[in-house]
Amino acid sequence: MSATSTEEATGSTTRWPRHTAAGRPVRSRGSRIGYVLVAGHAALTLAFGVLPALYALYLAFTAGDGGFAGLDNFTKVIDDFRFLPAVGHVALYLVIWLLLLVVLVTSLALVVHAVRVRWLSKALRLIFYLPGAVAGASSVLLWLFVLDPTVSPVAPLLRLFGYDSFLHVISPGHLPPIFAIIAFWTGAGGWIVIMYGALNTISVDMIEAARIDGANAVQIAWRIQLPLLRKWISYMGIMSLAAGTQLFVEPQLLSQASNAVVPNDYSLNQLAYLYAFQQNDFNGAAAISLLLLVIALALSAVFVTRGGLFETD
């Protein structure tokens, strides 16, 4: 019996990959398009990611004349009186922001996922996601009005806390929580949508079995959903950490709007900017960027190991 008649008799519709005369599989048009798309992404990553990083590595270990400088550039920037305060500012901001993300984003995702009314669930996801459409400098400009008690829509709340002027609100001691709130407002919605999608991958049978055993919504969230979200929470922490160490736009715009009440060397990225474009010291700026990279990689390693990001089930 031929292969065709056998397929007809058994009802099988299996399609085996075609091969060339040399025995190599014939690649489909879809796979070729995939290679083209990946090649484009790889080329952009190489041009705007890998090569600039290698150039920064070269600059960090060389002097202005191109000679080998060893660790001199790193010693110079660490000894700079502006370096440690900038590290403290960014560290405090990251702690507040990451806590807000882990606690509030996960909680809000669980609440939205628990809503059984479809239109309400969709509306909540849209509302949470909308602030992300006003990101970057536009978001900071919007917050300049929100933080000014003379024009802010939440002026009564600001005055309740004793803030009567814009300069009082943005005093340097208040900046870490302010920057964390701005970052949360612009970025939390996207992570809520991602966490919502991750919750949809949890087996419905598992949830139903827990309900039959008498578990309430809080127990299901704590005992089942949160442990299964651990990898996604770790991924959110890594990506947010990478973005948070690059703090620049918010303090830079506030510095300009406040006539330098907010210092222009508040963050490490600002300090690197000053080294490069005011002091014409690109080697020192590259050293700061590499220090940021090392710190971010070390903290990301903690998220990976503690969150079991690459563990297989």
Residue pLDDT, tens place only, 104-113: 999 999 999 8
**pLDDT confidence of residue 164:** 85
Q: How far, rounded to the nearest angstrom, does the alpha carbon of residue 182 sit from its chain's CA centroid?
A: 14
* Cα–Cα separations (whole angstroms), residue 79 to 76, 220, 273, 284: 5, 51, 17, 11
- Tell me what the mean pLDDT of segment 143-170 comes to: 87
- Tell me what the mean pLDDT of segment 214-237 comes to: 89
**pLDDT confidence of residue 171:** 86
**Opening angle at CA 288, ends 170 and 135, nearest 5:** 45
Question: Mean of the per-residue pLDDT values for the chain?
Answer: 84
**pLDDT confidence of residue 1:** 46
* pLDDT of 25 over the 70 cut: no
**pLDDT confidence of residue 83:** 95
Q: How confident is the model at residue 2 (pLDDT cuts 50, 70, 90)?
A: very low
- Tell me what the mean pLDDT of segment 69-82 comes to: 93
- Tell me what the mean pLDDT of segment 41-58 comes to: 91
Closest CA to 159 of 147, 148, 149, 173: 149
- Tell me what the mean pLDDT of segment 63-74 comes to: 88
Q: How confident is the model at residue 72 (pLDDT cuts 50, 70, 90)?
A: very high
8 Å CB contact between 271 and 83:
yes
Percent over 90 (pLDDT), the chain: 30
**pLDDT confidence of residue 26:** 52
Partners of 19 in beta bridges: 25
| Residue with token string 């139903």 | 208
Q: Where are the domains of the chain?
A: 83-307
* Cα–Cα separations (whole angstroms), residue 63 to 58, 177, 243, 283: 10, 38, 29, 7
Q: How confident is the model at residue 47 (pLDDT cuts 50, 70, 90)?
A: very high
**pLDDT confidence of residue 91:** 93
- Tell me what the mean pLDDT of segment 124-151 comes to: 82
* Cα–Cα separations (whole angstroms), residue 3 to 7, 9, 12, 21: 6, 10, 10, 20
Query: Could you give the 3-state DSSP secondary structure of residue 182?
Result: helix
- Tell me what the mean pLDDT of segment 12-18 comes to: 50
User: Mean pLDDT lowest for which of 11-20, 31-40, 76-85, 211-220?
Assistant: 11-20
**pLDDT confidence of residue 55:** 92
Query: Could you give the 3-state DSSP secondary structure of residue 16?
Result: coil
Q: How confident is the model at residue 274 (pLDDT cuts 50, 70, 90)?
A: very high
CA-CA distance, 276 to 130, in Å (whole number)?
A: 36
- Tell me what the mean pLDDT of segment 274-282 comes to: 92
- Tell me what the mean pLDDT of segment 228-255 comes to: 89
Q: Per CATH, which fold does 83-307 belong to?
A: MetI-like fold (1.10.3720)
* Cα–Cα separations (whole angstroms), residue 149 to 176, 257, 265: 19, 15, 26
**pLDDT confidence of residue 7:** 45
- Tell me what the mean pLDDT of segment 273-290 comes to: 93
Q: Name, in order, each residue with C-beta under 8 angstroms of 265's C-beta and a sequence gap of 6 or more.
A: 82, 86, 271, 274
**pLDDT confidence of residue 297:** 87
How big is the chain, counted in residues?
313
- Tell me what the mean pLDDT of segment 294-309 comes to: 83
Closest CA to 189 of 250, 123, 143: 123
User: Mean pLDDT lowest for which of 57-71, 125-139, 185-199, 213-227?
Assistant: 125-139
CA-CA distance, 206 to 208, in Å (whole number)?
A: 5
* pLDDT of 216 over the 50 cut: yes
* pLDDT of 16 over the 80 cut: no
* pLDDT of 263 over the 70 cut: yes
- Tell me what the mean pLDDT of segment 25-29 comes to: 58
